[in-house]
């Protein structure tokens, strides 16, 4: 069943329909109009000379096999990018959310994601592992929303030797841009695309009969046996006058995921996902030297979920980002000035039943056949929001020469005001510890019904109704956190003759929450012994400071609204348990800003039509935020304790990444075809004493038993984003006599050992007990993805492009190991079809 379209999606479709109608009247029959690219495509040679920077053009974006049509899936071709090990999991192929990535050993939320200069990072709960019906947290990821690559003209990845212009990251920067029109006046062009896939077009592989059984039962979104995914996108661009142009783009993607339930009388058995993008930009030239750009970006993701064994558990999650920005560029004789003002809101929300009841299974609470409890409801509605007001100034000066030495200065500054909110409209209760009414009534003498009380019976002699004696309270309220941040930087690029260049920069950052003044030096040095691009030696030493996310302060305050209440009989008033708020409280302390020190050495060059690069990046990241156990507090009842956690800077990671890249500059002709080849080989070695800032504390100096040896916990291999060896190859084929193009992408990942916690630990000869881990070997994997397109000219100004993407074309049964040490299957062969009409 196709989900209902949101108002945003209706607006997008209306605009696209109107644009198609309008464009049929614009070109006169005698005119010769070529459908242009929105932006010039850079050559391979231009991109190959900058160490640490990779730009993917519009053509590359469209030709890369990318069944999810999101930015991170595109980056699988980059050897400095690693993916979450479950990126190719067969479990959740109906999802639309982008995959999590690591750049040079970082965690996903340590990267910076930009579109048109605006951040789409989730700064509220970027490492959330919450389920769809979590009692305290919303689902989250490093990116607030999924951006459709159909809307983009280029994507740039900055993985090392990053300019002082960029800050608030310790991983890398991913910057995407929409398109500027390059057409004649009153000529409008665009496209309309549709794509489709489903489980009927895919093969599901399994590692065991147990896993196959989970798919067949398919009662949870964690094992999606059936799904249908579709997408619709459109663009319209042109110049209204010689000074005024516009670009309009929108997309809507949706997915239906039929599931079963464990209920006796299932009232719903389908989940849905939707993702909508909308972008509008206008370009106006005030003078030949002054350019203005006004932009609006609207992104929206939503999903409908339910718990398979909980009645009335339907909930809806939404995530959206709305942004407005103004950019002005002034190009004077000796200086270029760029200013941008942004206003942006990012929101996550959940809507569902206010309370969750854990009943004893009875005559009236009979919607399940197994277990002793029959649950209904959910943990209520609440939302989180971040509002941003940002101003940035960038200034580039004309080169200043002293003999053979040329200096090019760049400087800039910026200020931002940020507010984060957590809002819960009503108290939400989780009722537990249900017990027999023992003849009592669910109603008071005045006829008022007591809450969490059921008067139905299964056996009048033994059971006379039930009521809950305990409830956890998730209190209503508003929490607000404010932060001001500013930055400034100065950078000088020095070029001496044709043989030597150096970039020296310094960036300063301040934020009002941590009250830290951070200074990050940046440097890069290059030597060209032959005075040209045939051979270049590059090195660099850099420091990158991250960002203390709003998640820290919000969690501290939000959990103080949580408490436990009890009552001795159904007619008693609820009484808060003394000290129960300590169970969820986090202490707040002054935290340092996480930082990463980087060393880079690279050799690259161009020879005989080959662009090649060999690079080593070392990252030493310190002061990473982690949860820490401060103390334990005895419960008022005298049995057990409450744990009090806070955040400290005890996290660290160390990474060495070696990459080799090869590609031909000009296409290689063979008969009636043109060929481009690429090869990327990377080796990664990362040690990390945590998985995310949400991890509970483990002393990095504590001892564990792993693979037959006792070692410090901080020296064990990182679980995720630590694939030792990966080989990536690309082969693009263009036919010269036919409008056909075939792009192949193949990945080989060498086997690795993952760690699985053993239940009973390890006891040495002296009786000391250690946490014990056993290695679990993940076999090597191979995947071959392919995309083919055929362009059918409809008329001189119109064409239709038919596309087919095939993932895992050999249907190899690849496996991966999850965080629990369990082996799971990646997806099998998949087909995704698309059609694009260009005008």
Q: What are the start-end ranges of the E strands in 356-399?
A: 356-360, 373-377, 382-397
Percent of the chain that is helix, strand, coil (3-state, to 5)? 10, 50, 40
Say how far apart CA 44 and CA 604 lie, in whole Å: 14
- Give Rg (Cα) of the chain: 29
Q: H/E element holding 127?
A: none
Q: What is the mean pLDDT of residues 371-398?
A: 93
Give the integer Cα–Cα distance in Å for 183 and 494.
37
Backbone angles phi, psi at 110, to 5 degrees: -90, 0
Mean pLDDT of 679-704: 74
* pLDDT value at residue 269: 75
- C-alpha 237/C-alpha 777 separation (Å) is 52
Q: With CA atoms as reference, report the closest residue to 693 among 622, 596, 621, 625.
A: 625
Among 417-426, 531-540, 593-602, 626-635, where is mean pLDDT lowest? 626-635
Residue position matching structure tokens 């809307």: 151
Q: Do 520 and 501 touch, CB atoms closer than 8 A?
A: no
Q: Exposed, middle or buried: residue 88 (CB in 10 Å: 0-12, 13-18, 19+)? A: buried
Whose CA is closest to 274, among 1, 656, 651, 515?
A: 1
Compute the distance between CA of residue 65 and CA of residue 67 in angstroms, rounded to an integer.
Answer: 6
Lowest mean pLDDT segment, chosen from 201-210, 274-283, 549-558:
549-558
CB 588 within 8 A of CB 548: no
pLDDT at 643: 66
| 538 class by beta-carbon count within 10 Å (0-12 exposed, 13-18 middle, 19+ buried) | buried
Q: Which helix (H) or strand (E) holds 345?
A: strand 335-351
What average pLDDT does the segment 632-644 reach? 65
Which helix (H) or strand (E) is 18 found in, with range? helix 7-23
d(C-alpha 507, C-alpha 373), whole Å: 58
How large is the average pLDDT for residues 183-204? 94
pLDDT > 90: percent of the chain: 57
* DSSP string covering 42-67: PPHHHHHTSTTEEEE-HHHHHHS--T
Q: Are 582 and 644 in contact (CB under 8 A)?
A: yes
Examine the pLDDT at 803 and tell me if it is beyond 50.
yes
**The predicted structure's pLDDT at residue 135:** 79
Which is more confident, 696 or 196?
Answer: 196
Contacts of 321 (CB under 8 A, 6+ apart): 120, 144, 145, 297, 298, 299, 344, 345, 346, 347
Most confident of 360-369, 429-438, 665-674, 771-780: 665-674
> Which token pair is 42?
């850079």
Residue 631 pLDDT more than 90? no
Q: Which pair of structure tokens corresponds to residue 353?
A: 């039943």
Of 457 and 76, which is predicted with more confidence?
A: 76
Collapsed DSSP state (helix, strand, coil) of residue 108: helix
Q: Give me the pLDDT at residue 693, please.
A: 58
State both tokens at 262: 């464990």
Question: Per-residue pLDDT for 331 more than 90?
Answer: yes
Rounded to whole angstroms, the Cα distance separating 665 from 730 reads 14
Task: Output the 3-class SS for 130-185.
Answer: CCCCCCCCCCCCCECCCCEHHHCCEEEEECCCCCCCCCCCCCCEEEEECCCCCCCE
The residues that bridge with 349 in the sheet, in sequence order, are: 318, 383
Whether the predicted pLDDT of 24 surpasses 70: no
- Beta strands per DSSP E along 427-476: 428-436, 453-454, 466-474
Classified as helix, coil or strand, 34 is coil
Q: How far apart are CA 664 and CA 697, in angstroms?
A: 49
> For position 73, what pLDDT does the model report?
87
pLDDT above 80 (res 262)? yes
User: Cα torsion at 202, 229, 247, 175 (round to 10°)?
Assistant: -70
Between 230 and 631, the higher pLDDT residue: 230
The 10s digit of each residue's pLDDT in 297-316 is 999 999 999 988 899 999 99
Give dist(CA 99, CA 104) in Å, integer. Answer: 16
Q: In angstroms, rounded to a whole number, what is the distance separating the alpha carbons of residues 101 and 84?
A: 6
Q: In terms of Cα–Cα distance, which of 673, 697, 702 is closest to 773?
A: 702
Strands 373-377 and 310-311: parallel
pLDDT (0 to 100) of residue 718: 74
Least confident of 509-518, 552-561, 621-630, 748-757: 552-561
pLDDT of amino acid 639: 65
Q: Note the pLDDT of residue 583.
A: 55
With cut-offs at 50, 70 and 90, classify the pLDDT of residue 554: confident
pLDDT of residue 41: 31
**640 pLDDT higher than 60:** yes
Q: What is the DSSP string of 706-742?
A: ETTEEEEGGGSBPSSS--SEEEEEEEEEEESSSSEEE
pLDDT at 182 over 60: yes
**For the ranges 607-616, 668-677, 686-695, 745-754, which has the lowest average pLDDT?**
686-695
pLDDT value of residue 327: 96
Confidence of residue 810 (pLDDT cuts 50, 70, 90): very high
- The residues, any chain, with a CB within 8 Å of residue 408's CB and separated by 6 or more, are 396, 397, 398, 399, 400, 492, 493, 494, 495
pLDDT at 748: 97
Residue 14: phi and psi, rounded to 5, are -65, -45
Interatomic CA distance for residues 155 and 142, integer angstroms: 18
* Length in residues, the chain: 839
Residue 556 phi, psi (nearest 5): -55, -45
Task: Phi first, then psi: give them for residue 24, nearest 5 degrees.
Answer: -70, -15
Closest by Cα among 724, 693, 704, 827 to 774: 704
For residue 600, the model assigns a pLDDT of 98
SS (H, E, C) 581-650: HHHHCEECCCCCCCEEEEEEEEEEEEECCEEEEEEEEEEEEEEEEEEEEEEEEECCCCCCEEEEEEEEEE
For 801, the enclosing helix (H) or strand (E) is strand 799-807
Q: How is residue 319 written in tokens?
A: 């995530």
789 pLDDT band, cuts 50/70/90, is very high
DSSP conformation class of 449 = B
Average pLDDT over all residues of the chain? 86
- In the three-class reduction of DSSP (H, G, I as helix; E, B as strand; rest coil), residue 680 is classed as strand
What is the pLDDT averaged over residues 491-504?
Answer: 96
Q: Which of 86, 85, 159, 152 is nearest to 120 (CA)?
A: 152
Average pLDDT over residues 670-687: 95
- Rounded to an integer, the average pLDDT of 162-171 is 96
State residue 465's pLDDT score.
87
pLDDT of residue 680: 96
Q: Flag the least confident range among 40-44, 568-572, 639-643.
A: 40-44
Q: Has residue 606 got a pLDDT over 90?
A: yes
Can you tell me whether residue 532 is helix, strand or coil? Answer: coil
Distances (CA, A) of 522 to 110, 318, 490, 600: 18, 39, 10, 11
Q: Which domains does the chain have, with CATH numbers?
A: 7-838 (2.40.170.20)
Find all residues with CB under 8 Å of 660, minimum gap 6, and list them.
Answer: 79, 612, 613, 614, 615, 679, 680, 681, 682
Q: What percent of the chain has pLDDT over 70?
A: 87
Of the candidates 295, 318, 279, 4, which has an alpha carbon nearest to the alpha carbon of residue 145?
Answer: 318
SS3 577: coil
pLDDT for the residue numbered 501? 96
């Amino acid at each position: 069943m196709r989900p209902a379209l949101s108002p945003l999606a209706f607006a997008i479709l209306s605009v696209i329909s109107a644009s198609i109608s309008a464009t049929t009247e614009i070109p006169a029959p005698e005119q010769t109009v070529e459908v242009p690219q929105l932006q010039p495509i850079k050559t391979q040679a231009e991109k190959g000379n900058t160490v640490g920077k990779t730009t993917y053009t519009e053509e590359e974006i469209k030709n890369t096999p990318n069944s999810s049509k999101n930015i991170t899936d595109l980056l699988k071709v980059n050897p400095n990018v690693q993916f979450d090990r479950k990126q190719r999991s067969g479990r959740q192929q109906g999802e639309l959310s982008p995959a999590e990535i690591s750049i040079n050993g970082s965690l996903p939320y340590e990267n910076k994601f930009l579109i048109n200069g605006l951040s789409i990072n989730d700064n509220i709960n970027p490492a959330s592992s919450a389920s769809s019906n979590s009692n305290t947290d919303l689902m989250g990821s490093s990116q607030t929303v999924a951006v459709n690559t159909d809307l983009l003209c280029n994507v740039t990845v900055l993985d090392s030797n990053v300019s002082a212009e960029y800050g608030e990251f310790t991983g890398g920067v991913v910057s995407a841009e929409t398109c500027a029109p390059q057409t004649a006046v009153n000529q409008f062009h665009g496209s309309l695309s549709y794509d489709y896939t489903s489980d009927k077009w895919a093969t599901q592989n399994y590692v065991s009969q147990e896993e196959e059984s989970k798919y067949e039962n398919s009662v949870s979104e964690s094992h999606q046996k059936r799904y249908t995914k579709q997408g619709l996108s459109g663009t319209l661009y042109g110049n209204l006058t010689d000074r005024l142009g516009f670009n309009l783009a929108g997309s809507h993607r949706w997915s239906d995921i039929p599931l079963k339930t464990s209920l006796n009388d299932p009232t719903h058995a389908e989940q849905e996902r939707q993702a909508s993008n909308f972008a509008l930009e206008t370009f106006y030239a005030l003078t030949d030297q002054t350019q203005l750009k006004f932009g609006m970006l609207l992104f929206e993701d939503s999903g409908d979920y339910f718990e398979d064994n909980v009645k009335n558990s339907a909930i809806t999650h939404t995530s959206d980002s709305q942004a407005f920005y103004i950019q002005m560029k002034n190009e004077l004789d000796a200086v270029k000035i760029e200013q941008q003002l942004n206003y942006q809101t990012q929101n996550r929300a959940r809507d569902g039943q206010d309370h969750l009841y854990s009943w004893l299974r009875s005559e009236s609470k009979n919607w399940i056949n197994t277990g002793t409890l029959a649950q209904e409801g959910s943990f209520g509605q609440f939302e989180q929001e971040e509002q941003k007001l940002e101003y940035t100034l960038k200034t580039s000066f004309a080169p200043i020469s002293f003999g053979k030495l040329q200096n090019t200065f760049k400087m800039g500054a910026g200020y931002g005001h940020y507010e984060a909110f957590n809002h819960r409209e009503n108290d939400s209760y989780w009722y537990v510890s249900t017990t027999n009414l023992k003849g009592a009534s669910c109603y008071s003498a005045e006829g008022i019904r007591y809450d969490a009380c059921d008067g139905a019976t299964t056996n009048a002699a033994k059971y006379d109704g039930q009521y809950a004696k305990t409830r956890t309270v998730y209190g209503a309220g508003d929490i607000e956190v404010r932060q001001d941040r500013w930055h400034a930087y100065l950078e000088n690029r020095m070029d001496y003759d044709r043989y030597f260049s150096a970039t020296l920069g310094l960036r300063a950052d301040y934020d009002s929450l941590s009250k830290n003044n951070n200074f990050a030096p940046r440097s890069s040095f290059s030597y060209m012994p032959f005075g040209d691009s045939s051979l270049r030696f590059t090195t660099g030493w850099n420091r990158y400071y991250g960002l203390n996310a709003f998640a820290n302060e919000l969690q501290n305050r939000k959990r103080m609204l949580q408490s436990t209440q009890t009552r001795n009989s159904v007619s008693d008033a609820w009484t808060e348990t003394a000290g129960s708020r300590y169970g969820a409280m986090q202490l707040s302390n002054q935290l340092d800003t996480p930082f990463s020190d980087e060393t880079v050495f690279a050799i690259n060059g161009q020879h005989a039509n080959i662009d090649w690069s060999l690079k080593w990046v070392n990252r030493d990241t310190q002061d990473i935020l982690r949860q820490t156990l401060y103390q334990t507090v005895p419960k008022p009842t005298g049995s057990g304790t409450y744990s009090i956690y806070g955040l400290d800077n005890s996290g660290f990671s160390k990474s060495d990444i070696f990459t080799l890249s090869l590609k031909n500059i000009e296409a290689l002709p063979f008969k009636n075809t043109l060929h481009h080849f690429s090869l990327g080989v990377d080796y990664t070695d990362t040690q990390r004493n945590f998985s995310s800032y949400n991890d509970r504390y483990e002393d990095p100096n504590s001892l564990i038993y792993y693979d037959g040896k006792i070692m410090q916990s901080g020296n064990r291999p990182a679980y995720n984003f630590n694939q030792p060896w990966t080989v990536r190859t690309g082969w693009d084929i263009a036919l010269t006599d036919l409008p056909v193009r075939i792009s192949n992408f193949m990945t080989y990942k060498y086997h690795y050992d993952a760690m699985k916690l053993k239940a009973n630990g390890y006891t040495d000869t002296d009786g000391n007990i250690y946490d014990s881990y056993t290695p679990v070997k993940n076999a090597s994997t191979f995947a071959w993805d392919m995309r083919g397109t055929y362009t059918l000219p409809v008329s001189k100004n119109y064409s239709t492009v038919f596309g087919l993407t095939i993932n895992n074309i050999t249907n190899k049964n690849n496996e991966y190991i999850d965080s629990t040490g369990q082996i799971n299957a990646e997806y099998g062969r998949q087909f995704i079809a698309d059609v694009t009409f260009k005008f």
